[in-house]
Amino acid sequence: MPALPVTWPELVPGTLARRYRRFLADVELKAGGMVTAHCPNSGRMLQCSEPGRPVYLSLSKNPARKCAHTWELIEMPSSLVVVNTLRANALAKAAAILGLVPELAGYPEVKSEVVTTPGTRIDLTLEGGGRAPCMVEVKSSTYAVNGVAMFPDAVTSRGLKHLVELQAGLARGMRSVLLLLVQRMDARSFRPADHIDPLWGRELRKASAAGVEVLAYAARVTLAGMTVAGRLPLDLS
């Protein structure tokens, strides 16, 4: 089996007691004891934050951190789900470099967190190869119902701003891509969560009509790491 482009640090198993204040979670460790872990996910985490579910944490060696543990994964009935949204960016960058997403392949330079306009950063910029530069904004989808992955799971003014910036990139002669990475394995398609954030869904359709390339890809998630599993059908109806 090929090496996974994203691997986890050593995982600490436990059981989720509760998630609260958005960025905190209490976890009962399998080895014993309760810890408070950092939850690197700003969404509501619908369908992937049930108390009593098995979870997996990483442990930082930085003594200055308030929470030594970081919540990485939760085990839901039909799939492991990647809670840490920063892992989506890591997978997107590796996928561009390794050619795992054909639409992003062929660029010799892959840069992270590039400032495009004052106050706005885009996750990836792809350059070189005699092609127009390509802006890539990555969104992590952990919300799925009946095999349909969705984004967002909470109103996202930041996500709306990114869609506007991707359209502005087109006007500057760049390629613009929205890469939706579904960080679970039980989704068969993707659609915007209009019932949660209709403004984002409306802007997504506007961006797509303007020429922003909207790609939805599923991840294959294991306790060792994750990789790109394949493209998902996109429903913008």
Domains in the chain, CATH or no CATH each:
6-78 (2.40.50.580), 86-231 (3.40.1350.60)
- In whole numbers, what is the pLDDT of the chain averaged over residues? 95
Containing H/E element for 77?
A: none
Tokens of 173: 């002669």
188-222 tens-digit pLDDT: 999 999 999 999 999 999 999 999 999 999 999 99
Say if residues 37 and 29 touch (Cβ distance below 8 Å). no
pLDDT single digits (tens) 15-68: 999 999 999 999 999 999 999 999 999 999 998 999 999 999 999 999 999 999
Q: What mean pLDDT do residues 172-198 have?
A: 97
pTM for the full model?
0.95
How many CB atoms lie under 10 A from the CB of residue 153?
22
| Tokens coding 229 | 């599993």
Q: Say yes or no to pLDDT of 2 above 60.
A: no
* 28 Cβ neighbours under 8 A, 6+ residues apart: 14, 15, 17, 34
Listed in sequence order, the residues at least 6 apart from 9 whose beta carbon sits closer than 8 Å to its beta carbon are 58, 59
Query: Given a cut of 60, is residue 1 above it in pLDDT?
Result: no
Torsion angle, CA of 158/160/161/164, rounded to 10 degrees? 160
Report how far residue 160's alpha carbon sits from residue 162's, in angstroms, rounded to the nearest whole number.
Answer: 5
Tens digit of each residue's pLDDT (9 = 90 or more) over 53-102: 999 999 999 999 999 999 999 999 999 999 999 999 999 999 999 999 99
% of the chain exceeding 90 in pLDDT: 92
